[in-house]
Structure 1
Amino acid sequence: MSFNSFSEFLSMGGHGLYVWLSYGLGVAILAANLILPKLAGNQLLKEQKRRLRREEGVR
């Protein structure tokens, strides 16, 4: 498939909205799969540190 201009490439023969929306959604899902576990891990570490400090204060 060849395109004569960049705007033709973006429109993808009238299907550009669906094509680029699909690519965008795919990238968003991949980014979420990388970012959300990192945030959850950081939260878990904070909770564990807080629990350890609390347990050390009880003794």
Structure 2
Amino acid sequence: MVRLQELQKKIKLTGDRAMLDAKANGTYIVYKKSDGQMVREYPNGEIIPMFYTGTPHE
């Protein structure tokens, strides 16, 4: 159980760091929500869903 808690803490810290980098560089982060939806999140809190475009590299 302790390892799971440590892993969850590291995942959260990684996400927090990514958002700090996005803010510093004027960009956004991309992640998958628990329901499977891919989203872009901007440092101002705006969340925009991403939709499948059918590109062959995905």
Q: Please classify the TM superposition score into its range, dividing by the shorter chain length.
A: 0.3 to 0.5
- Which structure carries more helix by proportion? 1
- Which structure carries more strand by proportion? 2
The structure whose Rg is larger is 1
TM-score by length of 1: 0.42
